[in-house]
Amino acid sequence: MNTTVMDTTVMDTTVMDTAVVETAVVETAVVETAVVETAVVETAVVETAVVETAVVETAVVETAVVETAVVETAVVETAVVETAVVETAVVETAVVETAVVETAVVETAVVETAVVETAVVETAVVETAVVETAVVDTNVLIEEDYQLLKPSEDVSTARIAGLVAKSFKLIAPFWPLKNLIAVNPLQGFEDLPFEEALPLGSAYFQQASLPQPMEAVNRQTIKWLQAYFDDGQATLPMPLRQEGLYAAWRQLAVHDACLHENDEQKQEWLTTLPENPAQAIQLYLLHTGIAPSEHEQFLTLLLTTLPGWAAYIRYRTDWAGLDANHRHPVTQIDYLAIRLIITQVLWPDAKALLSWHQGAVEQARSKPDVLANIQQAEDTYRLPLLQQLATQPLTEARTPDAQLVFCIDVRSEPFRRALEATGDYQTLGFAGFFGVPVQITDTVTGETHASCPVLLSPKHTVHESPCCSPAEADQDRTAYGRQKKLKQLYQSLKYSFTTPFALVESMGLASGAWMGLRSLAPGLASRLKHSVSQSIRKPMAVASSLETLPLADQCAYAEGALRVMGLTHHFAPLVVFCGHGSTTQNNAYATALDCGACGGRHGAPNARILAGILNNPEVRTYLVQQGIAIPDTTRFIAAEHNTTTDEVTLYGDDASEACKKLTRDLAKAQQANSLERLRQMQKNADHSGGAQQTWLRSQDWAQVRPEWGLARNAAFIVGPRQLTASLNLQGRSFLHSYNYTQDPSGSSLTTILTAPMVVAEWINTQYLFSTLDNVAFGGGSKITQNITGKIGIMQGNGSDLMTGLPLQSVYASDELAYHQPQRLLTVVYAPRPLLDAIIQAQPVLQKLFGNGWVQLACIEPTDRQTYLLTRDLLWQKAK
């Protein structure tokens, strides 16, 4: 057939101050073998646009393929572009998709309707457009689309960035396995009352199944995210990662046959994706015809239908700290652009997700309310605790044999009680980073990590070095290098393509024997491994250098810590700052058991730093000027509490008689508390050798419950130790020392309520929701878990990232919950006017208390009456 070019007709629109353009006419073009009665106009949506000219260009080649049909429109806010590609096929009837001009206003001129021949554009139909070898595919975008966005590219990018940022608001961050941090999975709903957040959280995150096409989209998304974010697990890393997530994926996606299924049009489209991810997002939103008012909601649903990976993206973009300058960068726009493009390829009708979600919301609101059970548990726990606290006598301060400052962690409470029973000891509670916001650098390994709450940024870098001569330090570095190379060699042999077979042949028998030994005799295996490790690298004591901390900062940290915990007089001869950590085997969640205040790390470095600061004579001189006189006979040392075994290690010179006595009493406390904890973990626990049994649990690589962590946490108590010293709080309370008489301005209490208490609320809600729904908010069973990329956990080999606690951390069995879901009860021993002033000045407290995420109780020091803060931030007597 001869090539015939259809006439090009220009619709001129005259713009006047009060003119209305009512109709536009397009001439009818006749192709030699195809009669087209009316022109096909694709979807066009304009919110506030000046329509100057509309040009319809149509080209017909010998095989009757119309290359492009472009309706060009000048748009103020968003350019609306649609493209029709005519393929080789037969179409008897073609439907022109709706072209809607919602409110196209030029000064006072309104474009009301556009008429093509006798067809109205809003619902125009090509009645019998017969083209022997042509069919219109409306699901493909090609390169001409991108050109029309250039006039408003800057405005559009800013709008897209705003939409993306808003869509991520409902997503709580997820920290990687190297430093797991507890976080409220419904953190994005904390601006809502708790009872309203529950059904909404269910609608977004607790759907048992998704639309089938969305499952396919998720599988392809997960595959690419696993490859990009891999942190050393993969043998062959994904190329181009240094260019960023979207840039790398854009260049590689065209080679993914599982994505485009070798469809030539999809492949062509993938090769023409814009370099700017924001532009790609805009193109998708325009193409699908989703109303601008629903753009944010649609983007949010693309996040909440794969919430685990979205949570990790949120961490990397908003909470990464030292990882912010990661060698493999990512932005939220990168992620959503990829998510949208994959959705376009696999599910062109994804706008149906909006109606699906609306149904999910209605269904969630009709479900049985879990709030009643939570409130019942809270009512049962709250009043007896407040009555006990209010009746405790407060004695005059005195000087004990030693004072030990523990982290506020609930696991410290029973150990403190056990230690106080062994001798004349006073224990205090303080956030485990001890008020020193630093990052720690190991001079031997070169590794650096932040050692402070994630709510803070490190202000100093402190170097830790072995306590030895320079020659011994060089030997230690050499030994570490040798140890590291041996591990790398084993990993390379284990995970490469061919060597695993040789590895099995050569070491199979030895590996089998070693596995059997670890399973049947974990204690013996642990001692053997420790001996071999020591033969390669001898353990050495380490010291923290304070050279990078200016004297003024040292003075500020010293005074701040002592005043916040109320330790400003009656100093004992020995004061111990005791950080904490855990020791477990084969446990992906190991860092979740470490100190959250230290960024999911061990707390000993911070304890060493504060002890060193307070032993500094210049700092002590400054403190005297501030009214804090530390006796010359008082010495500060550091220690670390292993929460899995209850062993406490003292650092520094422990040759003094006071240290020797303390060491013996710490061992007694270990035995007593280990036995108490062992009874909670196994009903048939042997009443003798509690410490030995807990140590064996910590060394058993098959043990799914080496310790209970912070399970059953329920209260955050702020006040002097006398309030709780004689009470068995069953390891359910965070204990923060505080003396309101030394804090007339309320600055110390403000710090406690806006930092440690907020972290406690994160911990509390993570345990609460991991118990309510361990699949949606937890980690599922440890038995079926796999580590992906060394950053997170998935169930099986291709699930979403599991962001919460595993089943075994909150359940005693598959059916019986060990943790009791209830919201945090904060109890403060201080006058109500002081609390009122703080709450009025702190929006975060107004949000948590006013929306019912935390219940605040006050014990009035004058009459020991207890009060509860209502949701309207007024006090009422506890009943």
The helix (run of H) or strand (run of E) holding residue 639 is strand 635-642
**Where is pLDDT greater, at 737 or 691?**
737
Mean predicted confidence (pLDDT) in 826-832: 98
Ramachandran region, residue 429 (left: φ > 0; alpha: ψ -120 to 50; beta: rest): beta
The pair of three-digit structure tokens given for residue 821, joined into one six-digit string? 């879901």
Percent of the chain with pLDDT over 70: 82
- Mean pLDDT score, 607-617: 97
Residue 833 has pLDDT above 90, yes or no: yes
**Do residues 403 and 574 lie in contact, with contact meaning Cβ atoms separated by under 8 Å?**
yes
Give the per-residue pLDDT at 43. Answer: 34
End-to-end, the C-alpha distance of the chain in Å comes to 92
**Cα angle 763, 769, 774; round to 5:** 120
Residue 204 CA, distance from chain mean position:
16
Q: What is the pLDDT of residue 254?
A: 96
At residue 236, the pLDDT reads: 87
Task: Write down the pLDDT at residue 687.
Answer: 66
Write down the pLDDT at residue 446.
92
Find, among 564, 559, 565, 543, the residue nearest to 403 by Cα: 565
Q: Which residues, in sequence order, are CB contacts of 607 under 8 Å at separation 6+? A: 434, 577, 578, 579, 638, 639, 640, 651
- What is the arrangement of strands in the sheet containing 866-869, beginning at the earlier edge strand? 733-737, 715-719, 824-829, 854-859, 866-869, 875-877
Query: What is the pTM for the complete model shown?
Result: 0.83
pLDDT average, residue stretch 708-730: 97
Task: Determine the average pLDDT of the residues in 614-624.
Answer: 98
Integer Cα distance of 380 and 385 in angstroms = 9
Q: Average pLDDT of 784-813?
A: 95
Q: How many CA atoms lie within 13 A of 137 on its CB side?
A: 17
- Per-residue tokens: 348: 């062109």
Query: What confidence category does residue 546 fall into, taking pLDDT thresholds of 50, 70 and 90?
Result: very high
Whole-number pLDDT of residue 155: 53
Instruction: Supply the pLDDT for residue 555.
Output: 98
Residue 406 has φ and ψ, to the nearest 5°, of -105, 165
For residue 323, pLDDT over 90 is answered with: no
Burial of residue 840 (CB within 10 Å: 0-12, 13-18, 19+) is exposed
Buried b (16+ CB within 10 A) or exposed e, 206-232: bbeebbebbebbbebbbebbbbbbbbe
Average pLDDT for 588-602: 96
438: exposed, middle or buried (Cβ count in 10 Å: 0-12, 13-18, 19+): buried
Residue 855, amino acid: Q
Residue 644 binned pLDDT confidence (cut-offs 50, 70, 90)? very high
Question: Mean per-residue pLDDT for 661-684?
Answer: 91
Q: How many alpha carbons fall within 13 Å on the CB side of residue 380?
A: 9
Residue 718 pairs in a beta bridge with 736, 828
Is residue 510 very low, low, confident or very high in pLDDT (cuts 50, 70, 90)? confident
Predicted confidence at residue 322, as pLDDT, reads 84
Bigger pLDDT: 104 or 166? Answer: 166
Mean local confidence (pLDDT), 55-65: 32
One DSSP character per residue, 426-477 reads: EEEEE-TTTT--EEEEETTT--EEEES-TTS---EEEEEEESS-HHHHHHHH
The region of weakest confidence among 215-219, 239-243, 442-446, 833-837 is 442-446
CA distances (Å), 191 to each of 139, 198, 314, 568, 595, in order?
39, 12, 18, 38, 28
